[in-house]
């Protein structure tokens, strides 16, 4: 059973998905550098033991996934889930939500939300430890990125509330997502 009201879920996702889109466009403009240091987490190309790119049906054998209430319309290749079988924490850090993204039925990304500046600060430091020094900022100090060979991450921080939203994603599937997003925007524009 979910701990958040559907209205809060909608609000979180509406705020979080733009971060994912911004990350995609930033990473398209700033491809990962070859030959640079690779983080300790990047070669794993996984989150919680499940490799990015794993088929949704395979992931369901290990994780108890529940679609979000406002899951996209049938035919949309991006699907979002929460896990009913996990504690909302990472290494003892209590987080607000963990959202799992699947694109084209493959494990594509994970979103991690923190509710305040203290926990967001811990998450930021954890990303630095796991993925190395940040590769820069896409929107100024409120958006920090880590570019990896296989996996990249972005942390967006709300300066007013201290809330944080991290997106950790597979670079190969990110390229596919960006192409789909661009096509969807063009199709939508024809009806405006």
pLDDT tens per residue, range 105-122: 999 999 999 999 999 999
For residue 94, the cross-strand partners are 89
pLDDT, position 68: 85
The arithmetic mean of pLDDT across residues 33-46, rounded, is 57
Average pLDDT in the 15-37 region?
A: 41
Q: 99 and 38 in contact (C-beta within 8 Å)?
A: no
Mean pLDDT across the stretch 2-7? Answer: 45
């Amino acid at each position: 059973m979910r701990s958040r009201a559907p209205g809060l879920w909608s609000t979180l996702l509406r705020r979080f998905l733009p971060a994912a889109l911004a990350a995609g466009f930033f990473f398209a403009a700033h491809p990962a550098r070859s030959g640079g240091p690779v983080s300790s987490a990047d070669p794993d190309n996984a989150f919680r033991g499940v490799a990015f790119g794993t088929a949704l049906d395979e992931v369901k054998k290990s994780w108890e996934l529940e679609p979000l209430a406002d899951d996209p319309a049938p035919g949309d290749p991006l699907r979002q889930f929460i896990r009913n079988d996990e504690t909302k924490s990472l290494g003892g850090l209590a987080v607000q939500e963990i959202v799992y993204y699947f694109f084209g039925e493959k494990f594509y990304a994970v979103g991690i939300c923190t509710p305040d500046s203290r926990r967001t600060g811990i998450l930021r430091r954890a990303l630095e430890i796991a993925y190395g020094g940040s590769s820069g900022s896409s929107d100024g100090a409120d958006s920090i990125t880590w570019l990896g060979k296989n996996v990249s991450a972005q942390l967006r921080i709300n300066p007013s509330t201290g809330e944080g939203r991290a997106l950790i994603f597979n670079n190969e599937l990110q390229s596919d997502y960006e192409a789909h997003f661009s096509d969807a925007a063009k199709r939508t524009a024809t009806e405006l």
